[in-house]
Amino acid sequence: DTGVSQNPRHKITKRGQNVTFRCDPISEHNRLYWYRQTLGQGPEFLTYFQNEAQLEKSRLLSDRFSAERPKGSFSTLEIQRTEQGDSAMYLCASSPDTYNSPLHFGNGTRLTVT
């Protein structure tokens, strides 16, 4: 169990640029989640995959956000035309397909939009 891996750890970008983050879940986990966390707040749900199928998206996920999980392995989260309000920690988590299993989080990607 090597844990959930996220890259990059930090990303600084200028407003209007596109950014992409990658998440590698724990290998035997087929559920994958993206969350966003701002300073002083708990993580907020963005989207969820079961294998390669994206089963739910939060209303927080505007049209500028897109997530994929090709082949049910790693996942990417892309933000187009970044805005300063997108600055946050983006967390990925995974879990096995067993009843009520906890989420295992990666250490996140810290995005700063200048």
Which amino acid is located at 26 in the chain? Answer: I
Among 13, 22, 45, 52, binds another protein (CB under 8 A): 45
Closer residue to another protein (CB): 13 or 30: 30
Residues 50-79 that bind another protein (CB under 8 A): 50, 56
In order of 2, 21, 42, the CA distances from 28 in angstroms are: 11, 21, 27
In 1-114 the beta strands, taken as DSSP E runs, fall at 5-7, 10-13, 19-24, 31-37, 44-50, 53-57, 65-68, 75-79, 88-95, 104-105, 109-113
Binding mask 74-113 for another protein (x = CB under 8 A): -----------------x-x-x---xx-xxxxxxx-x---
Closer residue to another protein (CB): 80 or 87: 87
Among 1, 2, 28, 40, binds another protein (CB under 8 A): 40
Which amino acid is located at 78 in the chain? Answer: E
